[in-house]
């Protein structure tokens, strides 16, 4: 039996406007802003796949895959 892979955010950089909402409200502090002011999943191991970043992104730039 294969363990079901947890979904993780995939961030579309061209759509991210760097508002910082996903980073600020990620319950696990898994996301950071990079030097280009784009959100990145810096700590994938911390991510629980809660979806909150995807749901709160005003630019529909995040999709859990």
Partner 1 sequence: MAVKDYIREKFFPHIWCPGCGHGIIMGGLIRAIETLQKEKNDIVIVSGIGCSSRICGYLDFHTLHTIHGRALAFATGVKLSRPELTVIAPMGDGDAFAIGGNHLIHAARRNIDITAIIMNNNIYGMTGGQYSPSTGYGEFATTAPYSNIDHPFDFVNLAIGAGASFVARTTTYHVTSMIKIIEKAIMHHGFSVVEIMSQCPTYFGRKNKFASAVEMLKYYRDHTTPIGSKDKKNNPDLIERGIFIEKEMPEYCDEYDKIIKMASKGE
> Given the rule CB under 6 A, which residues bind ligand SF4?
9, 11, 16-22, 26-28, 30-31, 39, 41, 47-53, 57, 59, 61-62
- Give the pairing of strands 31-33 and 62-64: unpaired
| Number of other residues whose CB lies within 10 A of the CB of residue 26 | 22
Shortest separation between residue 49's beta carbon and ligand SF4, angstroms: 5
Whether 41 and 8 have beta carbons less than 8 Å apart is answered as yes
Q: Which does 53 bind (CB under 5 to 8 A by kind): partner 1, ligand SF4, none?
A: ligand SF4
What's the CA angle centered on 40, arms 4 and 31, to 5 degrees?
75
Give the interface with partner 1 as residue ranges (CB under 8 A).
14-15, 17-21, 24-25, 52, 55-61, 63
């Amino acid at each position: 039996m294969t363990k079901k892979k947890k979904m993780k955010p995939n961030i579309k950089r061209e759509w991210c406007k760097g508002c910082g909402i996903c980073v600020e409200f990620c319950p696990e502090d898994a996301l950071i802003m990079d030097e280009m002011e784009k959100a990145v999943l810096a700590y994938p191991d911390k991510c629980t796949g809660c979806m909150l970043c995807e749901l709160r992104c005003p630019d529909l730039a995040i999709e859990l895959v």
